[in-house]
């Protein structure tokens, strides 16, 4: 739910610790990312800096989600996703998501689709693209609009109505 309602990248989600949540302001700070990298024929999980300078960010937490986090609150060094002092690797989160979809007999989609869903729903609810690009960690609002926001049927109908009104007047 945190992924769906904040628009974080999967590596950023896996890198969150309880100390990254500011319980006085209901915001979280993205300071690190978890990723698997290949090294000379093998791979390892590393904790590093976020993807770019724009990815180091402070993101508001929706109130209903903040209430859930308050109930689960743990020691600051504990990673949110793993519940331990070691992070969960992003692939494990993605595999678990696929497993849940299968168990629920839902069509298989990528975990990353939730990030696109976040962006689309925000635009549908009146967020301006520049404001939305910040929590997504995009340097430019055009990346947000061109790659992440997908027109829903509701948005297409609204666009059609606006176009019709403009043609009449």
The residue out of 92, 109, 126 marking a domain boundary is 109
Is the domain of 49 the same as that of 66? Answer: yes
pLDDT attached to residue 148: 66
Is the domain of 34 the same as that of 100? Answer: yes
Is the domain of 95 the same as that of 144? Answer: no
Q: Which residue's entry shows tokens 């301006």?
A: 128
Owning domain of residue 157? 112-169
**Comparing C-alpha atoms, which of 51, 43, 65 is closest to residue 10?**
51
Is the domain of 37 the same as that of 90? Answer: yes
Give the confidence band of 139 by pLDDT, cuts at 50, 70, 90: confident
Is the domain of 119 the same as that of 68? Answer: no
H helix or E strand, kind and range, residue 146: none
Is the domain of 95 the same as that of 126? Answer: no
When pLDDT is averaged across residues 128-155 and rounded to a whole number, the result is 71
The residue out of 109, 138, 160 marking a domain boundary is 109
pLDDT attached to residue 93: 93
Is the domain of 130 the same as that of 141? Answer: yes
**Six-digit token string for 14:** 């896996």
Is the domain of 122 the same as that of 163? Answer: yes
Is the domain of 3 the same as that of 33? Answer: yes
21-22 and 33-39 strand pairing: unpaired
pLDDT attached to residue 124: 78
Asked if residue 28 has pLDDT above 90, the reply is yes
When pLDDT is averaged across residues 18-45 and rounded to a whole number, the result is 90
The residue out of 76, 94, 109 marking a domain boundary is 109
DSSP letters spanning 58-95: EEE--HHHHHHHHHH---TTSBTTTSSSSPPPHHHHHH
pLDDT attached to residue 69: 93
Count: domains in the chain: 2
pLDDT digits (tens, 9 = 90+) for 39-97: 888 888 889 887 766 667 888 999 999 999 999 998 889 999 999 999 999 999 999 99
C-alpha gyration radius of the chain: 18
């Amino acid at each position: 739910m945190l992924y769906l309602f904040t628009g974080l990248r999967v590596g950023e989600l896996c890198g969150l610790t309880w100390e990254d949540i500011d319980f006085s302001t209901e915001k979280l700070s993205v300071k690190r990312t978890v990723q698997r990298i290949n090294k000379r024929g093998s791979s390892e999980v590393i904790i590093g800096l976020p993807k770019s300078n724009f990815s180091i960010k402070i993101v508001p937490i929706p109130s209903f989600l903040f209430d859930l986090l308050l109930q689960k609150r743990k020691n600051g060094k504990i990673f949110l996703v793993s519940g331990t002092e070691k992070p969960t690797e992003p692939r494990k989160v993605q595999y678990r998501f696929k497993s849940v979809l299968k168990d629920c007999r839902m069509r298989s989609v990528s975990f990353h689709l939730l990030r696109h869903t976040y962006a689309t729903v925000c635009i549908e609810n009146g967020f301006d693209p520049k404001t939305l690009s910040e929590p997504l960690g995009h340097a430019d609002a055009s990346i947000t609009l061109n790659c992440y926001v997908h027109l829903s049927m509701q948005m297409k109908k609204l666009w059609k109505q606006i176009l019709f009104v403009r043609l009449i007047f």
